[in-house]
């Protein structure tokens, strides 16, 4: 089972919301679709799910071209950002609806719902309404519904964005396990680069409706193809020097170190990040971010240096990687 | 504090609703007509006894119930269809939305006069039409078989937009992604209507139903202008009868009794309608969810 997207595009009026999208997601692979809000992540999922019509390109699911198949006939398991649970139905009835619509026999429905409730650990909440659940529980019901669908592809649209940071971190491995255990392609949408790095096998960075790069988290971090990605991936944010000869040099904050000679800098402020500290420095090339270990004593003025191999160079006008 | 802020509203309610109600309740146990020289004289339950034995009251009550039931039923079905249509996205929708409201915005008297002309025999367009296609003159406003239908028709025409507006407001509170989620589960339009739209619209249907039932049960101006209660009082409503007792026969005691009786009845009807709706459109299919085949 693979999902293949070829040159996919959607136009509303004169505007292309997404365009020239190429992506392949294999069995048991989780690809994160990441980008700032409004860049077209949800729109892309809706195209794959068949909720919006495709203007250009093709969607191929397990060798079948489903580009223009109606949503009801695609085997797509989607978790909506809002969870989209029916508010007037109990958890059990919410899960039951899809099975019943697809004509599953009553005894089998009962059994499968029980099994899925066990899996997402909501056995004792089966009779309550969605409004009586916590955010994390609602998310698990939405996930359970998608799992019960037994789809050919999983589409998760910011499934964690309504949860608090701690819960998000707790649920991440669980979510990954639950979904990837099904050996189906998974597209995980998030605007949080950190979450994308943590959960995905590969990351597709979307910007203004176009995919800028698809790569493993490590590759994306160490070899960003565009300046936008360099800035978007990795926190604290990469340092960019002023353009020189049509090129922009960028260096990650953790690649900077103190040296006897180098760029003379003045310490402006510092933030404690637990295992490291983040320093804001004022240099002749503009302000710099530098992260270093917490034990280090920092004088008011320092000299900062970095290895030239840690430099990233981008074209100042196109933003594309140079070397 | 809240009680204080509510005070003006409570006062108003007291003056325009509770006050007259008590006055009518009190009056319904008194003789107060030209016979008594328009002085209220207690007469025990004589008015109520007369009401129970009054053939014309029961006939009017039956006619009022028929009018309310048929016209509110038709209205809600039509309004639901119109609201569903106006909730879709299509070219020119906003114009149609506005146009839909015109019948409702017309004063009832004007509207009823219009229909009186349309239904007129032999000068109205409908009579022209039926004669033209060979059915002959139906004499709509003169034949008791048709006249009540004409009153229902005019009422449906006028008040459907109001019900549609309430239902449309309800439809717009339903998040689109619920429909999308059910579609992805394989549910078609029928499943969406039965599983999402109707249950979530229920409070709005209930609101429209109760509003309209109470209004239709008290119908007065439409019938007064369109048929005057005729022919042979076949379209007379309870409100019309109460009005005649008070202002034509100057029997205020009996009129008050009719008003009290219809108030009690409409309250009962609203409760029954509410209970019925709970049964027809259950919000919760908790217990039967998994068991039902
Ligand atoms: N039906 C539509 N008509 C016009 N513009 C739309 C429509 N749907 C989405 N858009 C636009 O497409 C862009 C991408 O939206 P979306 O996919 O929801 O972004 P996100 O990445 O935050 O999920 C937004 O700028 C949005 O305004
Ligand atoms: Mg989105």
Return residues with CB closer than 5 A to ligand 2 (ion). A 42
Give per-residue pLDDT as tens, A193-216. 999 999 999 999 999 999 999 999
Residues B207-234, mean pLDDT to the nearest whole number: 90
pLDDT for position A119: 92
Ligand 1 site-directed mutation target among A11, A15, A40, most atoms within 8 Å of CB: A40
What is the C-alpha separation between A70 and A108, in angstroms, rounded? 27
Residue nearest to atom 12 of ligand 1 (CA): A17
Percent of chain B with pLDDT over 70: 96
- Whether residue A106 and residue B188 make contact (CB cut-off 8 A), yes or no, is no
Same domain, residue pair A219 and A257 = no
**Does residue B284 surpass a pLDDT of 60?**
no
* Same domain flag for A69 and A179: yes
Domain finish residue from A200, A228, A256? A228
Helices and strands (H and E) in chain B: how many: 16, 2
Evaluate if residue A314 carries a pLDDT over 80: yes
* Nearest 10 degrees: Cα torsion B281, B285, B286, B291: 150
Give the residue-averaged pLDDT of B172-196. Answer: 94
Best mutation target, A46, A75, A77, A89, to test chain B (most B CBs within 10 A): A89
Quote the ipTM score: 0.89
What gap in Å lies between CA B19 and CA A247, rounded to an integer?
Answer: 85
A280 and A184 within one domain: no
Q: Give B187's contacts in chain A (Cβ within 8 Å).
A: 72, 97-98, 101
B106: closest CA of chain A, how far (Å): 38
**Ligand 1 and A38: CB distance under 6 A:** yes
Q: Under an 8 Å CB criterion, which residues of B touch A?
A: 175, 177-178, 180-188, 191, 195-196, 199-200, 283-286, 289-293
Indicate the pLDDT class of residue B283, thresholds 50, 70 and 90: low
CATH of the domain at A115: 3.40.50.300
Taking the Cβ of residue A96 and every Cβ of chain B, the question of whether any pair is shorter than 8 Å is answered with yes
What SS3 class is residue A69? coil
pLDDT in tens, B16-66: 888 889 999 999 999 888 888 888 888 888 889 999 999 999 999 999 999
Domain span at A142: 3-228
Q: Which residues of A touch B186 (CB under 8 A)?
A: 72-73, 98, 101-102
Q: Quickly state the pLDDT bin for B222 (edges 50, 70, 90).
A: very high
The alpha carbon of A106 is separated from its chain's Cα centroid by a whole number of angstroms, namely 37
User: pLDDT tens, A170-188?
Assistant: 889 989 999 989 999 999 9
Q: How confident is the model at residue A141 (pLDDT cuts 50, 70, 90)?
A: very high
Contact A31, A23 (CB under 8 A): yes
Read off the pLDDT of residues B235-250 as tens digits, 9 standing for 90 and up.
Answer: 999 999 999 999 888 9
Residue in A48, A40, A42 with CA at minimum distance from that of residue A23: A48
At how many degrees (to 10) do helices B252-280 and B198-217 cross? 170
Q: Do B175 and A98 touch (CB under 8 A)?
A: no
Number of domains in chain A: 2
* Assigned domain for A173 exists: yes
CA of A35 to the centre of ligand 2 (A): 10
Q: Closest Cα to residue B112, out of B220, B251, B233?
A: B220
Ligand 1 close to Cβ of residue A37 (< 6 A): yes
Contact predicate A220/A200, CB 8 Å: no
Asked whether the beta carbons of residue A93 and residue B199 sit closer than 8 angstroms, the reply is no
pLDDT exceeds cutoff 50 at A76: yes
Say if ligand 1 is within 6 A of residue A40 CB: yes
Whether the CB of A104 is below 8 Å from some CB of chain B: the reply is: no
Q: Does B290 sit within 8 Å of A110, measured CB to CB?
A: yes
**Angle at the Cα of B25 (from B24 to B31), degrees rounded to 5?**
75
Bridge-based pairing of strands A186-190 and A153-157 is parallel
Q: 3-class SS at B71? A: helix
- Kindly tell me if the per-residue pLDDT of A293 is higher than 50: yes
Which residue in chain B has the smallest CA separation from A69? B184
Distance B47 CA to ligand 2 centre (A): 69
> How close, in Å, is residue B203 to chain A by CA atoms?
12
Least confident of A203-207, B181-185, B287-291: B287-291
Residues with Cβ within 8 Å of residue B79, at least 6 apart in sequence: B160, B161, B163, B164, B166, B167, B208
Q: For residues A215 and B8, which has the higher predicted lDDT (pLDDT)?
A: A215
Q: Whose CA is nearest to atom 5 of ligand 1?
A: A12
Could you give the 3-state DSSP secondary structure of residue B271?
helix
Higher pLDDT, B139 or A305: A305
Give strand pairing partners of A5: A23, A59
Residue with tokens 């309870």: B238
A128 and A185 housed in the same domain: yes
pLDDT in tens, A235-264: 899 999 999 999 999 999 999 999 988 899
Report the alpha-carbon distance of residue A278 to residue A232 in Å, rounded: 18
Cα–Cα dist A86/A101, whole Å? 15
What pTM was computed for the model?
A: 0.85
With b for 16 or more beta-carbon neighbours within 10 A and e for fewer, the A199-218 pattern comes to bbbbbbbbbebbbbbbbebe
Q: Nearest CA to B76 among B214, B238, B207?
A: B207
pLDDT tens-place string over residues A143-153: 999 999 999 99
> A166: distance to nearest CA of chain B, Å?
27
Average pLDDT, chain A: 93
A294 pLDDT above the threshold of 80: no
Angle between helix A165-180 and helix A135-148 axes, rounded to 10 deg: 10
Within this chain, do residues A57 and A122 fall inside the same structural domain, yes or no? Answer: yes
What's the confidence (pLDDT) of residue B281?
67
A39 CB near ligand 1 (under 6 Å): yes
Tell me which residue of B1, A118, B111, A186 sits closest to A126, measured CA to CA: A118
Give percent of chain A with pLDDT exceeding 90: 85
Summarize the confidence of residues B276-285 as an average pLDDT: 67
Q: Are residues A283 and A306 in the same domain?
A: yes
Q: Which helix (H) or strand (E) holds A84?
A: none
Residue A323 lies in a domain: no
Which one of B191, B200, B290 has the shortest CB-CB distance to A88? B200
Residues A218 and A247 in one domain: no
Predicted local distance difference test score (pLDDT) of residue B282 = 61
Do A263 and A138 share a domain, yes or no?
no
| Mean of the per-residue pLDDT values of chain B | 88
Same domain, A77 and A139: yes
Q: Which residues of A touch B292 (CB under 8 A)?
A: 106
Prior bond of B122 cis (ω within 30°):
yes
Residue A290 CA to ligand 2 center (angstroms) comes to 33
Sequence-distant (6+) residues with CB within 8 A of A298 are A267, A270, A279
Give the per-residue pLDDT at A31: 97
- Report pLDDT for A306: 94
What per-residue confidence (pLDDT) applies to B289?
Answer: 37
Six token digits for residue A73: 């006939």
Q: Which CATH architecture has domain B54-291?
A: Orthogonal Bundle (1.10)
The set of long-range contacts for B102-111, using a CB threshold of 8 Å and a minimum separation of 24, is B102/B161, B103/B157, B103/B158, B103/B160, B103/B161, B104/B158, B104/B159, B104/B161, B104/B162, B104/B165, B106/B158, B108/B158, B108/B221, B108/B222, B108/B225, B109/B221, B109/B225, B111/B154, B111/B157, B111/B158, B111/B222
**pLDDT for B13:** 86
Domain boundaries, chain B: 54-291
- Whether B290 sits inside 8 A of A127 (CB atoms) is no
Q: What pLDDT score does B278 carry?
A: 78
Same domain, A255 and A218: no
DSSP H helical segments within B28-54, as ranges?
46-53
Domain check: are A156 and A63 in the same one? yes
At B65-118, the pLDDT tens digits run 999 999 999 999 999 999 999 998 888 888 988 888 888 888 999 999 999 999
- Distance between CA atoms of residues B146 and B246, nearest Å: 29
CATH number of the domain where residue A243 is located: 2.40.50.140
Do A50 and A186 belong together in one domain?
yes
Q: Following DSSP, what letter does each residue of A85-142 receive, concatenated?
A: --TTS-HHHHHHHHHHHTT--HHHHHHHHHHHHHHTT-GGGTTS-GGGS-HHHHHHHH
């Amino acid at each position: 089972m693979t999902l293949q997207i070829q040159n996919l595009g959607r136009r509303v009026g004169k505007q292309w919301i997404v365009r020239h999208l190429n992506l392949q997601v294999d069995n048991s692979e989780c690809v994160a679709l990441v980008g700032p809000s409004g860049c077209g992540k949800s729109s892309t999922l809706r195209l794959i799910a068949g909720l919006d019509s495709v203007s250009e390109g093709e969607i191929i699911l397990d060798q079948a071209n489903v580009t223009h198949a109606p949503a009801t006939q695609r085997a797509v398991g989607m978790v909506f950002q809002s969870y989209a649970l029916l508010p007037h139905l109990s958890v059990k009835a919410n899960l039951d609806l899809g099975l019943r619509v697809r004509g599953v026999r009553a005894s089998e429905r009962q059994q499968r719902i029980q099994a899925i409730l066990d899996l997402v650990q909501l056995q004792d909440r089966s009779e309550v309404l969605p409004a009586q659940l916590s955010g994390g529980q609602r998310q698990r019901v939405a996930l359970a519904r998608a799992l019960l669908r037994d789809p050919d592809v999983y589409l998760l649209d910011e499934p964690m964005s309504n949860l608090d940071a701690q819960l998000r971190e707790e649920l991440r491995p669980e979510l990954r396990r639950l979904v990837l255990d099904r050996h189906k392609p998974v597209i995980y949408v998030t605007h949080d680069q950190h979450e994308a790095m943590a959960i995905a096998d590969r990351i597709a960075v979307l910007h203004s409706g176009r995919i800028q790069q698809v790569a493993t988290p490590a590759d994306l971090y160490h070899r960003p193809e565009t300046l936008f990605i360099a800035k978007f991936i990795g926190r604290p944010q990469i340092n960019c020097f002023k353009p020189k000869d049509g090129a922009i040099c960028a260096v990650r904050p953790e690649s900077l170190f103190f040296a006897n000679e180098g760029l003379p800098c003045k310490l402006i402020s510092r933030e404690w990040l637990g295992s490291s500290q983040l320093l804001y420095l004022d240099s002749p090339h503009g302000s710099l971010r530098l992260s270093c270990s917490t034990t280090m004593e920092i004088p008011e003025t320092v000299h900062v240096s970095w290895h030239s191999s840690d430099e990233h160079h981008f074209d100042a006008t196109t933003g594309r990687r140079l070397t | 504090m809240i009680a204080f802020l509510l005070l003006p509203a409570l006062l108003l309610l007291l003056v325009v609703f509770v006050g007259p109600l008590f006055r009518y309740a009190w009056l319904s146990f008194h003789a107060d007509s030209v016979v008594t020289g328009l002085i209220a004289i207690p007469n025990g339950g004589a008015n109520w006894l007369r009401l129970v034995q009054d053939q014309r009251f029961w006939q009017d009550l039956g006619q009022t119930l028929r009018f309310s039931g048929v016209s509110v039923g038709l209205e809600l079905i039509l309004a639901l269809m119109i609201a569903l249509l106006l909730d879709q996205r299509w070219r020119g929708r906003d114009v149609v939305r506005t146009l839909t409201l015109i019948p409702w915005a017309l004063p009832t008297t004007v509207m009823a006069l219009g229909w009186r002309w349309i239904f007129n025999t032999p000068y109205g367009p409908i009579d022209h039409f039926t004669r033209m296609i060979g059915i002959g003159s139906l004499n709509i406003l003169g034949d008791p078989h048709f006249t009540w239908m004409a009153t229902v028709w005019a009422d449906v025409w006028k008040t459907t937009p109001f019900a549609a507006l309430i239902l449309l407001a309800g439809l717009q509170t339903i998040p689109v992604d619920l429909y999308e989620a059910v579609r992805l589960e394989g549910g078609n339009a029928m499943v969406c209507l039965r599983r999402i739209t109707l249950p979530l619209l229920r409070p709005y249907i209930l609101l429209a139903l109760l509003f309209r039932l109470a209004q239709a049960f008290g119908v007065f101006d439409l019938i007064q202008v369109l048929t005057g209660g005729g022919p042979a009082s076949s379209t007379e409503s309870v409100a019309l009868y109460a009005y005649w007792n008070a202002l034509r026969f100057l029997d205020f005691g009996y009129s008050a009794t009719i008003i009290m009786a219809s108030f009690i009845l409409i309250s009962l009807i609203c409760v029954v309608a509410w209970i019925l709706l709970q049964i027809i459109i259950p919000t919760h299919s908790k217990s039967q969810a998994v068991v039902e085949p």
